[in-house]
Amino acid sequence: MGSVEISDITKMFTRDDGVEILAIDGVSLSISDDEFVSFVGPSGCGKTTLLRIIAGLDHAGSGSVLVDGNPILGPGPKVGMVFQEYSLFPWRTVLDNIAFGPEMRGISRQERRKAAHKYIEMVGLEQFEKSYPYELSGGMRQRVAIARALANDPDLLLMDEPFGALDAQTRNKMQVELLSIWNLSKKTILFVTHSVDEAVFLSDRIVVMSPRPGRIRSVVPVDIPRPRNRTAPEFATLRRDVLSLIEESSKQAND
Amino acid sequence: MNTNKSAGKRSPVYLAISVTATILFWQVLSDYIVQNKFILPSFTDTVTAFISLYTAGTLGVDILTSLMHFAIGLGLSLLIGVPLGICIGWFERVNQLLDPLIEIIRPIPPLAWIPFAIVWFGLTDFSAGFVIFIGSVFPILINTYEGFKSVPRVFVEAGRMLGCTSSLSLIRYIALPSALPHLAAGFRIATGVAWMCLVAAEMFGVSRFGLGQKIWWYYNLHQMDNVLVYMLMLGFIGLFIDFLFRYGMQRSLLRWRVGEVN
């Protein structure tokens, strides 16, 4: 479960001075079950906006998003999201943060604790279940955020630059962990990032977007078998290709 | 480094020194310099007055009466201020509707309401409670409103993504806990204002008992040592209420805030 059908999405923004700006222009994309797709592109290409539309947090001007054939009309537990900034509820412990989704679905206290434990274990934070978010490092917080999103067992997991605030080493470690979580839980993951390296390391396909208005520049399949070696020649080649696609598209936009 | 020597952990030695020095200075000042019990009763005069008031039993009744006024006023403030603050903080239309009204009423000093309090409710305990309510409702209302206004958007969006979608459950599970530090701050300010209004409200003779009422009563009898006893009682009880409140907050509600402040 977790196929996504994005058809002809457009989105207008009204600037403060009243001028309408086309943020996303006719984006269509098919994503199959359990696929890992990254979105890269220069800032202003609408990749975060697109993710928010798929999440149901923003509404598209026209076009539609279908998840497993059902149109997305608003946020819901079938689609999980991990945000860029720290979004854990600071008044809840790690365990209660992860159990929040099941709690909202009316799952009994015992059942949702059991579910939460399963995902705490998956992200390796068993010792911290009673801690409050302020006691955790940035990487640990994002692991809890991933566990919290997974606890609702969504078919589709959206990630908006989830590792953007982490240092390089933690970031690489988190990428490896994310792939193992993806292997264990088998979800479709849509991943927005600024880092081409990250996109090449993680994805089945990379969607390169161009700015003003946001369009899909090209979709690059990544055929390197996992686990991927960041220093391997084919890895470097692919990274260079994607980088030049991004550079081209941002140059075009500035002309 | 002395990191554990924060402002909250003062050495009892310094406390003892400062209290003893103040009492000595006070005693010497009143016995040898002022030499007039009406202008400045000494420490021993005040202690004697306290003992006789305490054994007569009126002091206890006065404290209970004042606490009742305090509870009526503050209770009403919570009952009205918190829900109203939530509504104007969460629903933009309610805010636009009520904000002008609140901004007009708020600057009126609570004591200016005393004539109407007496006209509407007579010389009753509720009348005193009403004046205290007027004084304490605005800090609670404004802080609740501020707290709800400043709920980070990402908390609301994270909540919605996890299936917390109705306004009611968003308020209950996301906005209210997030705004709790603001509410606590508002409540603390409100208790201070309420305690101040209490004295003024009681001075107008809404009942035969009460700490504020007795200050005025003994002033009219020119028994300034008794006045001083009641002043000190007001101070100590105010301090005690604030202490209870801070202790309760730190122990239970705001454990998660430890890492947020500083």
Q: Which residues, 6 or more positions from A127, have their beta carbon under 8 angstroms from its beta carbon?
A: none
Position B253 confidence tier, pLDDT thresholds 50, 70, 90:
low
Give the whole-angstrom CA distance, residue B190 versus residue A151.
41
Of B169, B173, B259, the CB nearest to A132: B259
pLDDT, position B94? 92
Render pLDDT for A34-87 as a digit per residue (tens, 0 to 9). 999 999 998 888 899 999 999 999 999 899 999 999 999 899 888 999 999 889
DSSP classification of residue A218? E
Identify the three-state secondary structure at position B96.
helix
Integer angstrom CA distances of residue B10 from A9, B7, B23, B24: 63, 6, 20, 22
Please give the average per-residue pLDDT across B104-130, as a whole number: 91
B178 contacts in A (CB within 8 Å)? 89-91
Render pLDDT for B52-63 as a digit per residue (tens, 0 to 9). 999 988 899 999
Please give the average per-residue pLDDT across B33-42, as a whole number: 90
Integer angstrom CA distances of residue B193 from A79, A122, B38, B140, B187: 48, 51, 29, 11, 10
Exposure on the CB side of residue A113, measured as CA atoms within 13 A? 6
Render pLDDT for A208-233 as a digit per residue (tens, 0 to 9). 999 888 899 999 999 999 889 999 99
Q: And the tokens for A164?
A: 């953007």
DSSP classification of residue A214? B
Give the whole-angstrom CA distance, residue A30 versus residue A207.
11
pLDDT, position A34? 92
β partners of residue A9:
A27
- Alpha helix locations (H) across A63-157? 94-98, 100-104, 109-122, 138-150
Is pLDDT at A242 greater than 70 in this prediction?
Answer: yes
Q: What is the mean pLDDT of chain B?
A: 89
Pairing of strands A36-40, A79-82: unpaired
The answer to whether the Cα torsion of B16, B17, B20, B26 is positive or negative is negative
Is pLDDT at B261 greater than 50 in this prediction?
Answer: no
Please give the average per-residue pLDDT across A99-121, as a whole number: 92
Question: How many angstroms away from the CA of B181 is the closest CA of chain A?
Answer: 10
Taking CA–CA distances from A156, the nearest residue in chain B reads B161
Position A18 confidence tier, pLDDT thresholds 50, 70, 90:
confident
Of B161, B169, B178, the CB nearest to A91: B178
E strand or H helix at A29, and its extent? strand A20-31
Is pLDDT at B1 greater than 80 in this prediction?
Answer: no
Q: And the tokens for A51?
A: 């993710």
A135 contacts in B (CB within 8 Å)? 259
Identify the three-state secondary structure at position B27.
helix
Please state the domain extents for chain A: 1-78+171-255, 85-153
β partners of residue A190:
A37, A158
Q: And the tokens for B222?
A: 């020119």
Pairing of strands A188-192, A36-40: parallel
Render pLDDT for A137-188 as a digit per residue (tens, 0 to 9). 999 999 999 999 999 999 999 999 999 988 999 999 999 999 999 998 889 9
Q: Is A162 on the interface with B (CB under 8 A)?
A: no
Interface test with A, best of B154, B155, B160, B162 (most A CBs within 10 A): B162
Position B73 confidence tier, pLDDT thresholds 50, 70, 90:
very high
CB contact under 8 A, B159 and A100: yes
pLDDT, position B153? 93
Interior/surface letters A173-207, b for 16+ CB within 10 angstroms, e for the rest: ebbebbbebbeebebbbbbbbebbbbbbbbbbbbb
Is pLDDT at A115 greater than 80 in this prediction?
Answer: yes
Please state whether A34 falls in left (phi above 0), alpha (psi between -120 and 50) or beta.
Answer: left
Identify the three-state secondary structure at position A160.
strand
Position A122 confidence tier, pLDDT thresholds 50, 70, 90:
confident
Is pLDDT at B232 greater than 50 in this prediction?
Answer: yes
Give the whole-angstrom CA distance, residue A54 versus residue A4.
9
CB contact under 8 A, B163 and A80: no
Interface test with A, best of B151, B154, B161 (most A CBs within 10 A): B161
β partners of residue A31:
A4
Please give the average per-residue pLDDT across B4-15, as a whole number: 68
Q: 10 Å Cβ neighbour count for A105?
A: 15
Of the two residues B250 and B120, the one the predictor is more confident about is B120
Of A75, A89, A105, the CB nearest to B161: A75
CB contact under 8 A, B157 and A80: no
Give the whole-angstrom CA distance, residue A93 versus residue A109.
15
Backbone phi and psi for residue B251, each to the nearest 5 degrees, phi listed first: -70, -40
A58 contacts in B (CB within 8 Å)? none
Give the whole-angstrom CA distance, residue B206 versus residue A79.
61
Backbone phi and psi for residue A223, each to the nearest 5 degrees, phi listed first: -100, 5
A119 contacts in B (CB within 8 Å)? none
Is pLDDT at B51 greater than 90 in this prediction?
Answer: yes
Question: How many angstroms away from the CA of A104 is the closest CA of chain B?
Answer: 6
β partners of residue B47:
none
pLDDT, position B42? 93
Taking CA–CA distances from A54, the nearest residue in chain B reads B161
Of A75, A86, A152, the CB nearest to B165: A75
Question: How many angstroms away from the CA of A214 is the closest CA of chain B?
Answer: 23
Domains, chain B, ordered by start:
62-253 (1.10.3720.10)
Of B162, B174, B256, the CB nearest to A134: B256
Helices (H), strands (E): how many in chain B?
A: 11, 0
Please name the amino acid found at residue A242.
V
Find residues 76-135 of chain A whose CB sits inside 8 Å of chain B. Answer: 76-77, 79-81, 83, 85-87, 89-92, 100-101, 104-105, 132-135
pLDDT, position A233? 93
CATH class of A1-78+171-255: alpha beta
Of the candidates B76, B160, B129, B39, the residue with the CA atom closest to the CA atom of residue A55: B160
Interface test with B, best of A104, A128, A134, A160 (most B CBs within 10 A): A104
User: Looking at A115-129, B28-42, B122-136, B195-209, which range is the least confident one?
Assistant: B195-209
CB contact under 8 A, A55 and B173: no
Of A57, A76, A91, the CB nearest to B256: A91
pLDDT, position A250? 76
CB contact under 8 A, B158 and A89: yes
Give the whole-angstrom CA distance, residue A172 versus residue A167.
9
Q: And the tokens for A219?
A: 């979709």
- Residues of chain A with pLDDT > 90: what percent? 72
Question: How many angstroms away from the CA of B140 is the closest CA of chain A?
Answer: 21
Q: Which residues, 6 or more positions from A201, have their beta carbon under 8 angstroms from its beta carbon?
A: A175, A228, A230, A235
pLDDT, position B3? 45
DSSP classification of residue A71? E
Question: How many angstroms separate the first and last alpha carbons of chain B?
Answer: 17
User: CA angle at residue B88 from B84 to B90, to 5 degrees?
Assistant: 115
Please state whether B57 falls in left (phi above 0), alpha (psi between -120 and 50) or beta.
Answer: left
Is pLDDT at A248 greater than 90 in this prediction?
Answer: no
Residue with tokens 């279940």: A129
